[in-house]
Amino acid sequence: MPVERYEGVQLGTTPEEIEDEVERGVLLTTLDRAIGWARKQSMWPATFGLACCAIEMMATGAGQYDLSRWGMEVFRASPRQADLMIVSGRVSQKMAPALRRIYDQMADPKWVIAMGVCASAGGMFTNYAVIQGVDTIVPVDIYVPGCPPRPEMLMYGILSLQKKVRTEEPFK
C-alpha cells in the first residue's frame, strides 16, 4: 500500500528516527484523517445515466480505465447502498422528482458529481423541458465539464472529490 505524504508532518527529527519508526510499523494519525481516508477509499457510486454522457461513465468503469483502482468497483443500482451520485446527461422536468427521491434515499454522507455540460448547466437545451443545472435539485460537489466528457475527465473529477472528502472534517 503506498504511503501518502503530507507537507509539514514529521514523524521524527532526523532521517534515522523516521526510518526507525517506519521499521517498527508505527502509524500516527488523527481520527479525522483516518475517517477521511476510509471514506475516500470506499465510495460506492449510484448511476444516474440519462443521455450520451452515460456511455462515457460506463466506459470509465470498464477495463481500460478501471475505477476499481480507487475503490469503486461496483456501480450500485440501489440508492441505499451508494454514497456518490454521478448525474450524467440532461435532466428533464419529469425526471427531477425521481432524481431528488433517489438522492434523499442515499445514506449520509453523500456526494454528487454533475457530469457533462447538460447536467451542469442545461447544455444546448435551453427550453422548458430540461433543467438548467442539476444543482437546482440536489447540491453538487464536483462539476465535470464537456460534451460528452471523456472518461479521463470523470476520473479527474472523482479524484478531486476524493481529495475533498479526505480533507473535510467528519466531526463538526
Structure confidence by residue, pLDDT tens digits, 11-29: 555 677 767 666 665 566 6
Residue 34, number of CB atoms within 10 A of its CB:
12
Choose between 115 and 34: higher pLDDT.
115
Question: Among 3.90.1150.10, 3.40.50.12280, 3.40.30.10, 3.40.50.970, what is the CATH number of 15-167?
Answer: 3.40.50.12280
Determine contact, residues 75/45, Cβ cutoff 8 Å. Answer: yes
- What is the pLDDT averaged over residues 67-72? 75
- What is the pLDDT averaged over residues 82-108? 88
> What percent of the chain is modeled with pLDDT above 90?
8
Alpha-carbon distances, residue 108 vs 70, 103, 112, 143, 169 (angstroms): 20, 10, 12, 20, 14
Confidence of residue 1 (pLDDT cuts 50, 70, 90): very low
Q: Print the SS3 string covering the chain.
A: CCCCCCCCCCCCCCHHHHHHHHHHCCCCCCHHHHHHHHHHHCCCEEEEECCCHHHHHHHHHCCCCCHHHHCCCCCECCHHHCCEEEEECCCECCCHHHHHHHHHHCCCCCEEEEECHHHHHCCCCCCCCECCCHHHCCCCCEEECCCCCCHHHHHHHHHHHHHHHHHCCCCC
> What's residue 120's pLDDT?
83
Where in the chain are the domains? 15-167
- Residue positions counted in the chain: 172
> What's residue 110's pLDDT?
87
Confidence of residue 67 (pLDDT cuts 50, 70, 90): confident
pLDDT tens-place string over residues 133-151: 898 999 999 999 888 888 8
pLDDT tens-place string over residues 71-82: 777 777 778 878
- What is the pLDDT averaged over residues 110-139? 86
